[in-house]
A and B are shown apart, each in its own frame.
Chain A
Amino acid sequence: MIGILAQGGSGPVIPDFGGGGAGNSCVRDNGFFCWNWFQQNWSDTFQPRLIEHIELTVVALAIGFVISFAAALFAYRYKWFDFPFTTFSAFLYTIPSLALFQVLVGITGLTLATALIPLVTYTLLILFRNTLIGLQEVPDEVREAARGMGLTRRQILWRVELPLALPAILAGLQIAAVTVVSLATVAAFVYDHGLGSPIFDAINRGTFKTELIGAGGLAILLGIASYAFFAVIQRVATPWARYRRA
C-alpha cells in the first residue's frame, strides 16, 4: 500500500533526519514545525499540491452537484424516485472511504477516476436531500399564486421554486465541500494528487512532522475557507433570506 506512494515520484526533497547534509538542525531533529523548510518547499510541493486539491474538490463537487440536482428535480416531479435515490446515495455514503478507494483500484486502476468517484458519491446524499427538501418547502400558497398569475411550470421552477430552494442548496454545497476537502486527502492513497500526497509521504518517511503538519494544516485551512466561501455566497445570493420569519 505505502509502496504505491513511494512510486509517486514528484514528492518533496526528503530530509535526512540523522545525517549532516541538510545543515538544518530543526529538520535534522524532526522538530515540530520547521518554518524554513516549509518555505523552501512551498513553491515546488505545497503550492502545487494545494492547487491540485482545490481542483479535485471543485471537479468532484461539480459532478456531484450535476447528478444530485438532476436527480432532485426528477424526484420533485416524480415522487416515487425519492426513496430509491435516497437509499442508493445513503448506501454509498455508508461505505468507508478507504475501502471504496481500494475496491475501485481493481476496476479503474490508479487513475484520477478512482480518486474522483468516491468523492462524488459522498456528495450525492447531502446535495440530493437538500435540493429536494428546499424545493418541497416552497410554501403552497406561493406556488398557487405563481400558477394563478399564469407562470408556466418551467417558469415556476426557475423563477420561484429554485430561488426559494437556494439557501438549502447552498447549505448542502457548503457541507459537501468541506466533506470533499477532507476526503480528498485520503484520495492520494490511490492517485498521487492533492495535499494527501505530502501527508502520506511524510508518514512513509517516518513521520516527518513539518511536512505532515504543513500539508495537514493547509487541508484544514482549505476546509475552513470553503465553508466561509459558501457562507459569503449565501449572504450575497439570498439577501431576502435574512428577513425570513421563523
Chain B
Amino acid sequence: MTSLDTAHDEGPSARSGASGGTAAEIVFDSVTKRYAGQEQPAVDNLSLTIGAGEICMLVGPSGAGKTTALKLINRLIDFEEGDITIDGRGVRGENVTALRRGIGYVIQQTGLFPHMTIAANIATVPRLLRWDKQRIRARIDELLELVGLEPEYAKRYPAQLSGGQRQRVGLARALAADPPVMLMDEPFGALDPITRGRLQEEFLRLHARVSKTVVFVTHDIDEAIKMGDRVCVLRQGGRLAQYDPPDVLLARPVDEFVADFVGADRGLKRLSLRRVGDLHLLPAPSARAGEDGTAARARVAEVGYETLILVDDDGRPQGMIGRDSLNGPVNASDARSIGVFGRLDMPLRDALSVMLSQAGSHLVVVDDDGRLAGLVSADLISAELAGTDASARAFDADEVPT
C-alpha cells in the first residue's frame, strides 16, 4: 500500500504502510463577502470550524454562496470582513501563490491542461515547487495507482480520456504535492450517475488512506450525506442554516428550510447512513440438529417467537423450523430455507428492503464468518432512528422471516 504522507525530504519512494498524512483545521471566523454593486452579501457572517482530516460538505440552493465560500479559502475570491485560518494561519496574511500551492483544488470541468500529457498535468504543482525530476516521476506513478489509472495513461492527453478518467487525473493533480487541504467544487457533478457513485466511493476510500481536510461543494444532498463527516447547509444570501453531521442533520433539521432541503425522505436517507452492525441485534433462538426439541421449543416460546434457527456445529444458520415441529430431537429435515441473510456491514436501508421483499418482519443476520449474529426487525430499525434503545423492549413479533 502506498501512502501520501511521505515526508518531503524522503521523497515518495519512501513508502510506508502508515496512513494519516497531513491535514489542517480550517476556521471561518465571521466571514462576510460582498460583491461590488450587490446589496445582499454572497457570504454573510459565516463562522464554522472544519476539523483536521474531516470532509465538510457545503450544500445549499444556488445563490447560497457555496462556491464563493470555497474560493475564499484559496483566495480565488478575496474578502475583507472576517478571517479564515488554516492551522491557525490567516489566509489573507499568506503569499497568495504559496497559499494556493499548498491547497489541492478540484473543479467540475477538471480544468486539465489540454496541451499537457497526464503526467505533466499531475506534475504541475511539484514543478512549481521545484521538486527534482526523479521524485516527480515517482510521484506520478504513485498517484496514478492511487486514483486507479493504469501507468500507460501518463503519456496521453486529456482529450484521449473519458470524463471519469479525467476527473481521476484532476484528483491526482490536486493531491500531487500532498497538500493538507483539498477544495473540491462539484467534482463529480458532470459525471453520469454510475461513474459518480463509483468515484464517490473511491474518494472515500482514498480519503481514509491519505487523511486530508476536505471542503466539498455540492448541490446534491444525497452526495453531501454520503460523503460528509459534517454537512454545512447554506441558505440564500450566504447565511449558515445548519452545520452538523449528516445523521443529526437528517434527524433534527433546525428549521423548515433545512427540512425541506434535506427532503421528505430524510428518514430513509438516515437508514443509508447506518449499518446493521450498529444496532443492538435481537437474540435469535437457535439449536443444532439432534438437540432436545422440547427444550428448544421452550426457548423459542420464552422470547415469543414461532420459529427456531437451525445452526450447524460452527453456528452457521442452516434453515428454520416452526415451533410446532419441535417434538423429539431437532430434525434437520423439518427446516425451511431462510432466504437472504443480513450482514453486519449492510446499510439499514438495504436490510429494510430485503425484509420488505421477503415479506417478513425480521432478518437473520450473520457475521463476517457466516455465523448467526442475531435478528433485525423493522421495529428495531425505527426505534434506532427514534434514538431509543429498542433491545430492552419486548417484542410482539411472532415469526422470523420466511
Chain B at the A interface: mostly helix, strand, loop or mixed? mixed
* Contact flag A142-B113 (CB < 8 Å), given A150-B99, A243-B159: yes
Choice from B100, B107, B115 contacting A141 with Cβ under 8 Å: B107
Interface centre among B103, B114, B157, B159, by most A CB within 10 Å? B114
Shortest B105–chain A CB gap in Å is 4
Report the interface size class on chain A.
20 to 34
Choice from B97, B105, B115 contacting A238 with Cβ under 8 Å: B115
Q: Report yes or no: A148 in contact with B74, Cβ–Cβ below 8 A.
A: yes
Shortest B217–chain A CB gap in Å is 13
> Chain B residue with minimal CB distance to A238?
B115
Choice from A149, A166, A245 contacting B128 with Cβ under 8 Å: A149
Query: Please, how many residues of chain B have a CB less than 8 angstroms from a CB on the other chain?
Result: 31
Shortest B159–chain A CB gap in Å is 4
Shortest B111–chain A CB gap in Å is 3
Shortest A162–chain B CB gap in Å is 10
Q: Report yes or no: B112 in contact with A240, Cβ–Cβ below 8 A.
A: no
> Chain B residue with minimal CB distance to A138?
B114
Q: Report yes or no: A150 in contact with B110, Cβ–Cβ below 8 A.
A: no
Residue A62 at the chain B interface, CB threshold 8 Å: no
In chain B, residues 85-107, which have Cβ atoms closer than 8 Å to a Cβ of chain A? Answer: 96-103, 105, 107
Q: Report yes or no: A142 in contact with B105, Cβ–Cβ below 8 A.
A: no
> Chain A residue with minimal CB distance to B127?
A159
Chain A 141-156 against B: per-residue CB contact (8 Å), 1 yes, 0 no? 1111111111110010
Shortest A146–chain B CB gap in Å is 7
Q: Complex formed: what's the CA distance from A154 to B108 in Å?
A: 25
Q: Report yes or no: A141 in contact with B109, Cβ–Cβ below 8 A.
A: yes
Q: A239: which B residues are within 8 A, CB to CB? A: 157
Shortest B177–chain A CB gap in Å is 9
* Contact flag A240-B128 (CB < 8 Å), given A141-B109, A148-B105, A150-B100: no
Q: Report yes or no: A149 in contact with B105, Cβ–Cβ below 8 A.
A: yes
Q: Report yes or no: A146 in contact with B114, Cβ–Cβ below 8 A.
A: no
Q: Complex formed: what's the CA distance from A239 to B115 in Å?
A: 8
* Contact flag A150-B125 (CB < 8 Å), given A144-B76, A240-B157: yes
Shortest A201–chain B CB gap in Å is 48
In chain B, residues 109-167, which have Cβ atoms closer than 8 Å to a Cβ of chain A? Answer: 109-116, 124-125, 128, 157, 159-160
Q: Complex formed: what's the CA distance from A244 to B161 in Å?
A: 11
Q: Report yes or no: B98 in contact with A240, Cβ–Cβ below 8 A.
A: no
Q: Report yes or no: A163 in contact with B105, Cβ–Cβ below 8 A.
A: no
Q: Report yes or no: A150 in contact with B109, Cβ–Cβ below 8 A.
A: no
Q: B173: which A residues are within 8 A, CB to CB? A: 149
Residue A6 at the chain B interface, CB threshold 8 Å: no
* Contact flag A150-B112 (CB < 8 Å), given A144-B107, A244-B159: no
Residue A164 at the chain B interface, CB threshold 8 Å: yes
Q: Report yes or no: B97 in contact with A245, Cβ–Cβ below 8 A.
A: no
* Contact flag A148-B100 (CB < 8 Å), given A243-B160, A244-B159, A245-B159: yes
Q: Complex formed: what's the CA distance from A166 to B170 in Å?
A: 24
* Contact flag A163-B115 (CB < 8 Å), given A150-B125, A150-B128, A244-B159: yes
Shortest A118–chain B CB gap in Å is 35
In chain A, residues 124-152, which have Cβ atoms closer than 8 Å to a Cβ of chain B? Answer: 139, 141-152
Shortest A17–chain B CB gap in Å is 59
Q: Report yes or no: A151 in contact with B157, Cβ–Cβ below 8 A.
A: no
Shortest A148–chain B CB gap in Å is 4
Q: Complex formed: what's the CA distance from A129 to B62 in Å?
A: 37
Chain A 229-246 against B: per-residue CB contact (8 Å), 1 yes, 0 no? 000000000111101110
Q: Complex formed: what's the CA distance from A149 to B102 in Å?
A: 8
Knowing that A144-B76, A151-B128, A160-B115 are A-B contacts, what are 19 other residue pairs whose CB atoms are under 8 Å apart, sorted by A's residue number? A139-B109, A139-B111, A141-B107, A144-B107, A144-B111, A145-B105, A145-B112, A145-B170, A149-B124, A149-B173, A150-B99, A150-B100, A150-B128, A151-B97, A151-B124, A160-B113, A239-B157, A240-B114, A245-B159
Q: Report A's interface with B, CB cutoff 8 A.
A: 139, 141-152, 155, 160, 163-164, 166, 238-241, 243-245
* 30 A-B contact pairs sorted by A residue (CB < 8 Å): A141-B107, A141-B110, A141-B111, A142-B111, A142-B113, A142-B114, A145-B105, A145-B107, A145-B112, A145-B170, A147-B76, A147-B100, A148-B103, A148-B105, A149-B100, A149-B101, A149-B124, A149-B128, A150-B98, A150-B99, A150-B100, A150-B102, A150-B125, A160-B115, A164-B113, A164-B115, A240-B115, A240-B159, A243-B157, A243-B159
